[in-house]
Structure 1
Amino acid sequence: MKRRLLMMMLLGACANVQAACGTASCPVNTQWDAQGLSHDEGVRVDLRYTYARANKLRFGSKRVAPEAPAATGLEIENRRTINQLLNADIDYAVNARWKIALGLPLVIRDHAHTLDSTSGIPTPQRAEFTRLGDIRAVGSFSFDLGDSHSGSGVRLGLKLPTGSTTQNMDAQDPADPPGTPYALERSAQPGTGTTDLILGAYYYHELADSPWGWFTSIQGQTALNHHQDFQPGDDVVVDLGTRYAFTRQLTGLLQVNAHYRDRDNGLEAEPTSGGYSLNLSPGLSFAVARQTRIYGFVQLPLYQYVYVDKAEANFGQLTAPWTLSLGISQSF
């Protein structure tokens, strides 16, 4: 039980969006790839807080400075996006093979930029909100490998369109008629408005009579429909990780997370969307009780590449230099 719980602290997937205004990074989370292997039957609740401040503008893989206003009518990403996520993952193990999981996200976002209005009046704009995001429902099946030190499985689920897609900036474009709202770009909304298919697989191995263990996993997500001329890009994450038990309570964790996201599609999609990254995520897990663990990760990007509109030099994407995740996991 303890070894399985330690491994669960490693099996994470990235749920991220690379967008022009820096809507997210690639946080390690506890929507575990094995979906509840910390218990053979019963319920596990995981509460997690994630923080990322996207304030580094990139064009491809290079850091660039924002352009000066020139009445282009475009948004100049010259400020920041603060992304915070409160997520509750509820896993129910029907038996040793079948598990179901529900992810409930609360999105807290503060985005600010300058609108390069065609009126010639550069206009600071800000969107700040706390809203329910897109709920995920995932089922998983674990294979019997005939080895108590190894495990593998597959998962299948849906991301549901429960998050809002109608948030606005606080100031309108001076070139528009008075009272005209200015919509926050679609990739920065609390939800996408689409139903997405989630597919994944994982494998882990614990070294016999050793404090070491390792895992690998892959997860993909693709939208099944458009919503109001918008469809998020396909998303793929590959994880490789290891752990080391320093004591019965304290475990060191280390992950390498590779993430790819295709460009968003549709008339409402930004040309500066999508990209890929390689991230290093060290962390610690501590058992405060037999069925209770607290944990923390810091994620550091080793390489970041964002897709941009090559017709508009220096209109890139905001990226985060680091991400922090803290949580508590309780089994019942």
Structure 2
Amino acid sequence: MKRLLEVNDLQVHFHSKKQNIYAVRGVSFHVNKGEVLAIVGESGSGKSVTAKSIMKLLPEKTCSIPEGSILFNGDEIITMKKKQLSKIRGAKIGMVFQDPMTSLNPTMKVGDQIAEGLIVHKGYSKKLAHEKAIEIISLVGIPDPIYCCTTYPHQLSGGMRQRVAIAMALICEPDLLIADEPTTALDVTIQAQILDLLKDLQEKMGMAIILITHDLGVVARFSDRVNIMYAGKIVESGTKNEIFYNPKHPYTIGLLESVPHLDLEKNQQLTVIEGTPPDLHDPPKGCAFTSRCPFAMEVCDLYQPNKTILSSTHHSVCWLMDQRAPKVDDIQYNDFHQ
């Protein structure tokens, strides 16, 4: 399968007068044409920073990419000038942000905002662009699309604003859609509708999707492959089935164990991953998960673990994969209860 996006050894640093934050620390992954890749992790793990790096949307004054490569259709994103980037943003890569109210212009009518992409990238006339905007608004499931075009974002509900944001991202039929926690601010019923909509549009348009989320239920329903991210690194990667049914990294196991179950007994507490992520202005010398890991060994605190290839699609970055470590099969989910 042809690779649409390749990210290799990406490093992203944020700078201030007092310190540097090493937000992304050597991330590598790829996205094939037409697939859904989920990037999962706690808040602060580097998911959104990685996503914004792909479109070079990070602030230039306070942020740098000292190392790494981002290839989109074989073209290097990192070294692109603004004029080249403007031909890709919105046209070839679309993005849906967490909160549509902050990504939509409150002073512009919805129809004008959606049509703008076609006018800028495709050279459409204003009339034709508005006709296409009505079509895409209808496609994303908004009733009375003609009326919707005449409204301002604040006049719509949260679910409708998110559909408008999706319509804006899809209007130019991009090859890749980056959805950064697109259902976080929505109630459960609307979440399901938005996810079904994205999946349906993805299949109709044949585009690839990078789904940024911390919701494993969304991942199970929507993704083909999964990257588990922690403290600026990808610690495990695999197909959906490999991650859910054969997890190898203790962090992945902890995330899965912390998901509420319908058969939870009365007064039974949910499992939690004790502790907090490390401060990335001074990253740990060894594995960043060591202080929270119930299976940590002395070597974990001293040295970075190597990537262990478990299959052509599955890898884990953990010292437990070393042949001298305790057998991974001996690890049980209920160890996180201890």
| TM-score normalised per structure 1 | 0.23
Higher strand share: 1
| TM-score normalised per structure 2 | 0.23
Higher helix share: 2
